[in-house]
Amino acid sequence: MKDTDAPKLLVVLGDQLSLNLASLRRADPYRDIILMAEVSEETTYVRHHKKKIAFVLSAMRHFAEELKLYGWPIRYVRLNDPENTGSLMGEIERARHELGIKDVVVTTPGEHRLVAQFANIPWLEMLEDDRFLAGHEDFNGWADDRKHLRMEYFYREMRRKTGLLMDGSEPLGGQWNYDAENRKPAKADLFRPEPLKFEPDAVTRDVLQLVEGRFDNHFGTLRPFWFAVTRKNALAALEHFVDTALPHFGDYQDAMLQDAPFLYHSVLSLYLNAGLLHPMEMCRRVERAHSEGHAPLNAAEGYIRQIIGWREYVRGIYWREMPGYTKSNYLNATRPLPEFYWSAMTDMTCMAATIDQTRDEAYAHHIQRLMVTGNFALLAGIDPVQVHEWYLAVYADAYEWVEAPNVIGMSQFADGGLLGSKPYAASGNYINKMSDYCGSCRYDVSKKTGEGACPFNVLYWDFLKRNEEKLRSNPRLGTAYHTWDKMSAEKQQDYLGSAAAYLQTLTDQP
């Protein structure tokens, strides 16, 4: 029998930095002890971007200080502590032993990898992570009796459930989704707001030194480091986004400009995923901006949809499909990830710009992730496991529960269409329409085949032909296959030959 009055060890992970965390709500500060541990297993299970490690460790240290101010007893283990065992499990065991505590409580981790480690241990209790708006039961209840799990229908349920942008039982403005208004290409003279940037304080400066010393061989530029590492500053970043960028968020959501890495995006995902912001408070703030006349409906609806729709939906898919999901490879893609995903050494301006920016900021916005680096990997037939590991490493907001469905499902179609109804495959024409990349590219976006043709053009048709058996029956690709069928055999051969020559250059690379 459990002694309910015995002290407990409450473990708080690096992406659980929320005062309203389930395990903290359950705890008694006069009896229990919080454990937070910086451990090499978490900092190296993929070679995370240096900025991501610095963000998580500094935010953990600030959060521990905040908890101390509230009077919580804390055992905080630093990465360089000589006794550090290097893993969360090791640190839990060590704390239990040294403190003489039997029972451990943790809010369920966001990644299956850790849940598997923590499962079936009699003295370890995992509480549901209720910082999300749809629990597993809610999602499964919605998904169980459906043939197709389409985000749009899940999103409508979430609008009803939360009451966000609702007019009684109807969506505000009469439409659920204003995406059709959100496809404006970027103009060169567009005003470009920047996210709110913060000077590193003494705690962050210490962490930066640690990261410089220990993770020099990881991808990414560490300085300048400007992320918020406290809830107070993350809230300031939210206010800044609402003031400066939200009104145009919808209009230019899909646009890309070479020297504007953030455009009208919020750059808040890293704070939200680490627990410094709560999804509902962000959505309420955006809803208020609309009701006060500061942001149009297409912007507010578009933003809220990303959070209560896409974010919750991908999490639901992840937990429904794990553990097998991250190994999915529906299209049997096997090509190794080209080295230029790390070096940015490629003549394709769109790829070089997105990868350069990823290296410098640990950030790229959705369309860059989906339609540039993701699209290229899909068209070139890169092994989805390698693509998944790249995305998990390089972005400051990357945790497997949100990254894997976006990569394996949305971007690589490796789940065979469970998440998206068709592959996000596009030729150079799409990138040219939505960006200013092509003007300064060595490749010619208007050239379809042969020397100097845009690789996206060449690979697009090769991708469709290569995967014909699996994709031809997809109704959303009917027009594309119809166009292919109408091409002369000579033209088709021209495409396939050009693609083979281009793909050979990838194979020949070191």
Sheet containing strand 74-77, edge to edge, reads 74-77, 33-37, 8-11, 103-107, 124-127
Are β-strands 33-37 and 74-77 bridged in parallel, bridged antiparallel, or unpaired?
Answer: parallel
Task: Compute the residue count for the chain.
Answer: 510
Stretch that binds ligand SF4, among 132-140, 334-342, 348-356, 482-490 (CB under 6 A): 348-356
Q: In whole angstroms, how close is the CB of 365 to ligand FAD at the nearest point?
A: 5
Beta-bridge partners for 166 = 171
In angstroms, give the least distance from the CB of 119 to ligand FAD.
Answer: 24
Q: ω before 122 within 30° of 0 (cis)?
A: no
Position 214: which residue type? Answer: R
Residue 397 makes contact with ligand FAD by CB under 6 A: yes
User: At its nearest, how many Å lie between ligand DLZ and the CB of residue 292?
Assistant: 35
Nearer to ligand SF4, 276 or 445 (CB): 445
Residue 56 lies near ligand DLZ (rule: CB under 6 A): yes
Site mask for ligand SF4 (CB under 6 A), range 435-464, x = bound: --xx--x-x-x--------xxx--------
**Residues whose CB falls within 8 Å of the CB of residue 120, separated by 6 or more in sequence, listed in order:** none
Say if CB 154 and CB 309 are below 8 A apart: yes
Binding of ligand SF4 at residue 316 (CB under 6 A)? no
Total binding residues toward ligand SF4, as defined by CB under 6 A: 14
Q: Two tokens at 487?
A: 């091409």
* Cα 106 to Cα 85: distance, rounded to the nearest angstrom: 19
Binding mask 281-320 for ligand FAD (x = CB under 6 A): ----------------------x--xx--xx--x------
**Smallest separation (angstroms) from ligand FAD to the CB of 453:** 25
- E-assigned strands of 30-156? 33-37, 74-77, 103-107, 124-127
- Per the CB < 8 A criterion, the answer to whether 337 and 382 are in contact is yes
Give bridge partners of residue 291 from the DSSP assignment.
Answer: none
Q: How many CB atoms lie within 10 A of CB 125?
A: 15
Distance in angstroms (rounded) separating the CA atoms of residues 458 and 450: 8
> Between 409 and 428, whose beta carbon lies closer to ligand SF4?
428
Q: Could you check whether the bond before residue 323 is cis, i.e. omega within 30 degrees of 0?
A: yes
Q: Torsion angle of alpha carbons 305, 316, 163, 243, nearest 10°? A: -40
Q: How many residues bind ligand DLZ (CB under 6 A)?
A: 17
Binding ligand FAD by CB under 6 A: which of 53, 126, 242, 370? 370
Contact flag: residue 399 with ligand DLZ (CB under 6 A): yes
**Cα–Cα dist 178/181, whole Å:** 6
First to last CA, the chain: 61
Pick the piece of the chain touching ligand DLZ (CB under 6 A) from 22-30, 38-46, 159-167, 422-430: 38-46
Tokens 């646009």, residue located: 255
Binding residues for ligand SF4 restricted to 43-72, rule: CB under 6 A = none
Contact (Cβ atoms closer than 8 angstroms) between residue 126 and residue 118: yes
432 sits near ligand SF4 (criterion: CB under 6 A): yes
The residue range among 30-38, 97-105, 262-270, 431-439 that interacts with ligand FAD, by the rule CB under 6 A, is 262-270
3-state secondary structure of 468: helix
Among residues 155, 325, 395, 461, which is the contact residue for ligand FAD, using CB under 6 A?
395
From the list ligand FAD, ligand DLZ, ligand SF4, none, pick the one residue 395 interacts with, judged by a Cβ distance below 5 to 8 Å according to partner type.
ligand FAD
| Count of other CB atoms within 10 angstroms of residue 474 | 16
Which partner from the list ligand FAD, ligand SF4, ligand DLZ, none does 59 bind, CB cut-off 5 to 8 Å by kind?
none
- Binding of residue 7 to ligand FAD (CB under 6 A): no
Distance CA 59, CA 41 (A): 18
Q: Which residue among 12, 267, 283, 372 contacts ligand FAD (CB under 6 A)? A: 267
- The helix or strand, by DSSP H or E, that contains position 34, with its residue range, turns out to be strand 33-37
Q: Work out what residue 437 binds among ligand DLZ, ligand FAD, ligand SF4, none; the CB cut-off runs from 5 to 8 Å by kind.
A: ligand SF4
* Alpha-helix residue ranges (DSSP H) falling in 84-227: 88-99, 112-118, 136-143, 151-162, 202-214
458 binds ligand DLZ (CB under 6 A): no
Q: Please list every residue from 98 through 117 that binds ligand DLZ, using CB under 6 A.
A: 109-111, 114
Selected range binding ligand DLZ among 35-43, 229-237, 337-345, 375-383, rule: CB under 6 A? 35-43
Note the residues at the interface with ligand SF4 (CB under 6 A): 348-350, 428, 431-432, 437-438, 441, 443, 445, 454-456
Note the residues at the interface with ligand FAD (CB under 6 A): 265-269, 272-273, 303, 306-307, 310-311, 314, 365-366, 369-370, 374, 391, 395, 397-398, 402-403, 406-407, 410-411
Note the residues at the interface with ligand DLZ (CB under 6 A): 13-15, 37-39, 42-43, 48, 53, 56, 88, 109-111, 114, 399
